[in-house]
Chain A
Amino acid sequence: MKARNVNWIGLQTFISREVARMFRVWIQVLVAPWSSALLYIFIFGRIVGARIGLIENVAYIDFVLPGLVMLNLINSSFLHSSSSLYFMRFVKHIEELLVAPLSYLEMIVGFVCGGIIRGLVVGLGVYALALLFTIATIEHFLLFVFYSVSISMIFALLGMLVGLWAKNFEQLSLPSIFLITPLTFLGGMFNSITMMPQKLQFLMRLNPFFYFVDGLRYSMLGISESNLAIGLGLIAVLILTLGWLVWYLFKIGYRIRE
């Protein structure tokens, strides 16, 4: 699609509507994850962390923080696009988009940008809260931005798949409960891979969330336990695969067109 053929005003309007929708329920969207993160930082970072000592030569609070930022970033971008798309299907106001001169790609970009923005606002808010307790360095700023944006994008796309698939509100919450939170926790959010039993270390390396958490940790602390190239490759493959799948489902009208 040529740039001049893009409905820029339509796209910008759609993104601004997604952002407005986010701030319409700001307690649920912002205050809830920030207050949970504050408790995590205080209890695990400050209280428990003081007794744990250094991990990989950094204070426990600093070691945990990238995982905490990642968890919130992932959850927020996923929840935004899944709930937005599902709600639009549920009340049928997705038809507002379908009858408008917007391409499938523009619709997808709109949902994904909404998810990325929410992920970044919540994730950076968690980082800002951590500054109350620690220095919270960012060693490689551009990598930090890259990991934050690309992983938000992956989970915004995944959220769209769930938003299309879900037939009720219960199904909408299942991936967050049974997939995202457990895999993030098991992906080295709270611990170094060396703290795991030898056999489980292999399993941890099969968990894609391990590479997400470790990549962000590297960008913030400069320490890494994974092969960063595998992580970058995984991110690229996931964005392309999920992006294509969402585009294809929109093209055939899966659960959005009759």
Chain B
Amino acid sequence: MNEKALEINNLRKSYGAIDAVKGISLSIKRGEFFGFLGPNGAGKTTTIKCVTGIAVFQSGTIKVFGIDAVRDYREARKKIGLAPQEFNVDIFAKTRDILWYVGGFYGIPRELRKKRIEEILDKFELTVHAGKPFQQLSGGLKRRVMLARAMIHDPDLLILDEPTAGVDVEMRHDLWRYLQEMNKAGKTILLTSHYLEEVEMLCGRIAIINHGKIAAIGDKKDFIEGGHKLEHAYLEITRGEKNNESA
């Protein structure tokens, strides 16, 4: 059994003349709850897009549970569930249909898919909204649908790109509870968020990316030692880099 859920080596990705990711390397162990932080435009979402196949990268390697994400992309993608930052969904489709089709794409047989959809609708308290088109749902419910969609094929690695953006406090607490339950059940989670308190509460290990490079990586305790909040270390690292660049 491969102990590394995700292994990124020297990943480079540019958009024309702009280098979005400049040779980053990181690995996430199986069962970890990993926080991936950085300012807007730092390269978090680009890295995630490279891992999931949404973006084509120029060089480097990505392995998901030891499987090459380019060469054996089908096997690698079966292992990943993605809840992206944007609502990349057919907005006219009903919640149940979204789950039905995506479950099918992952090759889940009909009967098993039906059962799985009912379970997941129940888990995310979406059963009463199952017949509603996505566009009619509130922001918080849409986030839950995205999470349910990411979980439909029971992936081992869950990648959540700002899953609580625009979600009210109560819903955010519910989402935190779901994520903790999933992590306890053995799922590896990669979380990006601008809410540092949620990263501090949920994640065991953290990486900070800035200007396309990993600026810091380590256990949570390394970032909060001396009784500091994570925000303190985060600002110190990102502002420090900014100052270094200015100098």
Q: Which of B88, B97, B104 is the one whose CB lies under 8 Å from A92?
A: B88
With A9-B107, A13-B104, A258-B15 as given contacts, are A101 and B56 in contact (CB-CB < 8 Å)? no
B interface, CB within 8 angstroms of A: 15, 46, 49, 52-56, 73-75, 77-78, 80, 82, 84, 86, 88-92, 97, 100-109
Which chain B positions have C-beta within 8 A of A92?
86, 88
With A10-B106, A93-B89, A257-B53 as given contacts, are A99 and B82 in contact (CB-CB < 8 Å)? yes
Interface size class of A (residues with CB under 8 A): 20 to 34
Chain A 80-112 per-residue mask, 1 if CB under 8 angstroms from chain B, else 0:
000000001001111111111111000000000
Asked if A7 contacts B107 (CB within 8 A), the reply is yes
Which chain A positions have C-beta within 8 A of B106?
10, 100-101
Asked if A17 contacts B101 (CB within 8 A), the reply is yes
Which chain B positions have C-beta within 8 A of A91?
88-91
Expressed in whole angstroms, the Cα–Cα distance for A95 and B77 within the complex equals 12
User: Does chain B have a CB within 8 A of A222?
Assistant: no
* Majority DSSP secondary structure for residues of B touching A: mixed
Closest to B150 in A: A99
Asked if B49 contacts A24 (CB within 8 A), the reply is no
With A17-B101, A93-B88 as given contacts, are A101 and B107 in contact (CB-CB < 8 Å)? yes
Closest to B100 in A: A13
A interface, CB within 8 angstroms of B: 7-10, 12-14, 16-17, 20, 24, 88, 91-103, 252-253, 257-258
Expressed in whole angstroms, the Cα–Cα distance for A22 and B47 within the complex equals 35
A-B contact pairs, 17 of them (CB 8 A): A7-B105, A13-B105, A17-B104, A91-B90, A92-B86, A95-B54, A95-B88, A96-B101, A98-B53, A98-B54, A99-B52, A99-B54, A100-B106, A101-B78, A257-B53, A258-B49, A258-B55
Interface centre among A20, A97, A103, A257 (most CB of B within 10 A): A257
Asked if A99 contacts B77 (CB within 8 A), the reply is yes
Which chain A positions have C-beta within 8 A of B102?
96, 100
Listed from nearest, the 9 A-B pairs whose CB atoms lie closest are A13-B104, A100-B105, A101-B74, A258-B55, A92-B88, A95-B88, A9-B107, A101-B77, A10-B105
Which chain A positions have C-beta within 8 A of B54?
95, 98-99, 257-258
Which chain A positions have C-beta within 8 A of B107?
7-10, 101
Expressed in whole angstroms, the Cα–Cα distance for A100 and B73 within the complex equals 9
Question: B172: shortest Cβ distance to chain A, in Å?
Answer: 24
Which chain A positions have C-beta within 8 A of B52?
98-99
Which chain A positions have C-beta within 8 A of B88?
91-96
Expressed in whole angstroms, the Cα–Cα distance for A16 and B82 within the complex equals 23
Expressed in whole angstroms, the Cα–Cα distance for A14 and B107 within the complex equals 11
Question: B59: shortest Cβ distance to chain A, in Å?
Answer: 16
Which chain B positions have C-beta within 8 A of A96?
88-90, 101-102, 105
Which chain B positions have C-beta within 8 A of A17?
101, 104
Extra contacts, 15 of them, besides A99-B52, A253-B56 (Cβ < 8 A), are A7-B74, A7-B105, A9-B107, A14-B105, A16-B104, A95-B88, A96-B88, A98-B53, A99-B53, A99-B80, A101-B75, A101-B77, A101-B78, A102-B74, A252-B56
